[in-house]
Amino acid sequence: MAAPVKGFAHILAPSAHSTLRAGVWDFVQLPVPIIQQLYHWDCGLACSRMVLRYLGQLDDSEFESALQELRLTRSIWTIDLAYLMRHFGVRHRFCTQTLGVDKGYKNQSFYRKHFDTEETRVNQLFAQAKACKVLVEKCTVSVQDIQAHLAQGHVAIVLVNSGVLHCDLCSSPVKYCCFAPSGHRCFCRTPDYQGHFIVLRGYNRATGCIFYNNPAYADRMCSTSISNFEEARTSYGTDEDILFVYLDS
């Protein structure tokens, strides 16, 4: 059972600026800790650490052991994150448009390098998911579904095209993150798809925005419009992947 989340009741309590409509609060901002990724490839792992810490279940040594047991390397897919949640006994639901690897991605620059070696591995994970008690569904998720999930104090890890995602709060929005050998971040722009994981932590219905943690940063919460979020998460290459994670794990 997860430890209680400090401040959760206060955040979701009704106020003059927060009313409940059809089971969804007008304003939600969950206290999800921010953990920065270490490399150009581990944004999904950083997001998983954020979620597990939010649930009160993050132990660094156990996390590293889990990565070894699940044989997670530098190519991390959403299905890998679902298996990681299952490893820690976290209730989850992975929604996607493709149950396996879309062969059309083979010619995408983002996927090209690891496609041939990863296709069989990833397809096997999908095939074994039910037996391994990893919940995967082929389904379409709406913004209203996401808001209803967040309104209950739950969080979600979402695959987006970072070349499209734009933070309204950052003076230098991340188009996609990469790292120089010295470890300094640089911000690169490219018209090609750039897969990136973020953690959803709330929304404001009055202003029509979504709050999220971007693991490219270590010191801030990000926010974008619902229209920009929808464009980023439904871009070709994402399969509209979203991993719902539940507080009552």
CA 95 from centre of chain: 12
Average pLDDT, the chain: 83
Q: What is the pLDDT of residues 187-200, one digit of tens each?
A: 444 567 889 999 99
The residue-averaged pLDDT of 10-30 equals 60
83: pLDDT confidence band, cut at 50, 70 and 90? Answer: very high
Query: Can you list the alpha helix ranges (DSSP code H) found in the chain?
Result: 8-12, 43-54, 60-69, 78-87, 109-128, 143-151, 226-233
185 pLDDT higher than 90: no
pLDDT at 176 (0 to 100): 42
Are 44 and 94 in contact by the 8 Å Cβ rule? The answer is no
